[in-house]
Amino acid sequence: MNLLIKLLGTGVSLAAGFAGTKLVDALWEKSTGSKPPKGDDDVPTTLRTALTFALISASVSAIIQVLANRGTQRAITRFAKTQDIV
């Protein structure tokens, strides 16, 4: 069952990462009025713009990863306590 919780935590982390990426892209487009820099040749970007987007995107990804790991650890701990009671 411990493995199931870890797999579920991985799935939640992936889904949250996908949602976070979409959120950052949407907020970037709304605040700047241009598409986020993704390495496309047809959208010219400055180095400053690319670095700013990378910092924001990496920060959101790190926060999502930490929160998903903490949630998984809490679930494992809670499951272990309920197993001891039964």
Residue 18 belongs to domain spanning: 2-85
pTM, 2 dp: 0.75
Looking at residue 85, its pLDDT comes to 63
The Cα–Cα gap between 68 and 84 comes to 25
Check if the beta carbon of residue 72 is closer than 8 Å to that of residue 3: no
Helices within the chain (DSSP H only): 2-32, 47-85
Q: Does the pLDDT at position 1 exceed 80?
A: no
Is residue 41 very low, low, confident or very high in pLDDT (cuts 50, 70, 90)?
Answer: low
Is residue 71 very low, low, confident or very high in pLDDT (cuts 50, 70, 90)?
Answer: confident
Is residue 86 very low, low, confident or very high in pLDDT (cuts 50, 70, 90)?
Answer: low
In the chain, how many domains are there?
1
Looking at residue 84, its pLDDT comes to 62
